[in-house]
A and B are shown apart, each in its own frame.
Chain A
Amino acid sequence: MSALLFVIVVVATPIQNLVAYSLFFLILLILIRLAKLPYRTVFIRSLVEIPFVLFALLMPFFGTGPKVQFLGLELYEAGIWAGAGIVAKGTIGVITAIILSASTSAREILIGLEKLRVPAPLVSIATFMLRYLNVINDELGRMKIARESRGFEERGLRSWRILAQTVGALFIRSYERGERVYLAMLSRGYIGAMPKLSDEKDSKLAVALVLPGAAALVSITTGVMF
């Protein structure tokens, strides 16, 4: 939640407020430090952003309004700001997400969702997905090995029919497993409510508000000052 609010605050800040943006990046650097993440890892993972950066780089070339000269190129001023906005906001969003996912296990995220009162069925579905993703993936791997052991080559349009059948078989198997799991749950007295993943009462709301609070403070004060 903290991460989400932080990103919302950042997105709401006008890009022209350069001081605020420098401070946002500073906050993120401190967070990476605190989370003891290697900068290299964060950098490599943030490369997913590249397609958006390319798009943003194109923006100054298309647009309307006043133009500026830069290295002999004629660029649209509004385009520059919009492009810079996308890059800056995008990078901050991506890095925030990386910090969240690298410092928090999938399980803790589920606990977080539960504390945020996300409807219990959704949390249960996510929990089961987390548990069975590996099982189903293993099954898919075994099917692949079985196919190839009998001389199947994954090439060309013709193999699509077989691949589609594999997906179908996987679906049926998973469905049947779902039924068996449900029987196992019933056998142990399941009556419709899953146990809570954590029984901690305090939601640490104050702690969660530190990050977006700091960002909001930065955004507002710098907005007033500059």
Chain B
Amino acid sequence: MSSIPSLKIANLAYAYPDGHQALYGVNLEITKGEKVALLGPNGAGKTTLVLHLNGIIATQQGSVSVAGSVVDSKNKESLKHIRERVGIVFQDPDDQLFMPTVAEDVAFGPFNSGLRGAELEKVTNDALSKVGMLEFRDRPPHHLSFGQRRRVAVATVLAMSPEILVLDEPSSNLDPASRRELAEILRSLDVTILMVTHDLPYALELCERSVILSGGVIAVDEKTPDLFKKTELLASHRLELPFGFKL
């Protein structure tokens, strides 16, 4: 079982339609159950990489495979399957939560994979309890705090029981308490996680392994505590630990 990696990216290259090249051959392998931080300065192509993972951006060169199956954005059937297994939590929860109530939003993904009735209800409630938001199930998203919306956004993806959970800047705009609550939730989940972030302490807290995407390639791939000791290496990729933070 564990021999098949949750995610395997091989020689992935991508250029925008305007010719600007964002990725120059990315190689990355994540084994099942691993929690990995994807670090990188602004504009390093992190979001572009993330959108490749479930075929929203079509692979131009190289390959992406999730739990052994190749992401092929031309094959509608396989794409449907891939999107059930790769759960992406976007940065702005207002983009992610588009249905009138929390419960309907969480049910959106499982509904698309064909669940109905009592089963749909159960999956929805389970996902909401995992993030501690069950009591808010019938509330409209705009009545929730930002931290609560972020948690619901995580639930919308958990409801699909993904093979790998991809989080884009999960700690951005959260107050310290919401940040810690989300960390506790993420740590409690038994799922492979790829976390895109600039928040180095958060990466250290949650991910045993970190990779740096810089200049369109994976420039560094190390154990998080070891990497964070190398101040100069971090600085060469425009990354630095916050003031007063020593390892």
Name A's B-contacting residues (CB within 8 A). Answer: 107, 110, 127-128, 130-132, 134-135, 177, 180-181, 183-191, 195, 197, 199
Contact = CB atoms under 8 A, between A and B. Distances in A.
Contact of A127 (B51, B99, B156): B99
A127 B108 CA distance: 14
Interface stretch (B80-88, B172-180, B185-193, B234-242): B80-88
B95 A188 contact: no
* Chain B interface extent, by class: 20 to 34
Contact of A188 (B112, B116, B140): B112
B100 interface: yes
Contact of B98 (A128, A191, A197): A128
Contacts of A107: 100-101
Contact of B100 (A131, A184, A185, A189): A131
Interface string B96-107: 111111001001
A187 B54 contact: yes
A188 B160 contact: yes
A188 B83 contact: yes
A58 B86 CA distance: 67
Nearest to B94: A135
14 contacts: A107-B100, A110-B100, A128-B98, A131-B100, A131-B140, A131-B141, A132-B98, A185-B98, A186-B54, A187-B54, A187-B83, A187-B86, A188-B108, A188-B112
Nearest to A128: B98
Contacts of B14: none
Nearest to A178: B95
A130 B84 CA distance: 27
A189 B160 CA distance: 10
A180 B94 CA distance: 10
A172 B99 CA distance: 22
Contacts of A183: 51, 56, 90, 95
A145 B156 CA distance: 33
A174 B244 CA distance: 39
Given A188-B156, A189-B83, A189-B160, A181 B95 contact: yes
Given A187-B56, A195-B107, A195-B108, A180 B90 contact: yes
Interface in B91-138: 92, 94-101, 104, 107-109, 111-113, 116-117
Contacts of A181: 95, 98
A201 B70 CA distance: 40
Contact of A184 (B96, B111, B113, B160): B96
A184 B87 CA distance: 10
B112 A191 contact: yes
Contacts of B80: 189, 191
A2 B83 CA distance: 42
B157 interface: yes
A184 B109 contact: no
Contacts of A127: 99-100
B142 interface: yes
A134 B56 contact: no
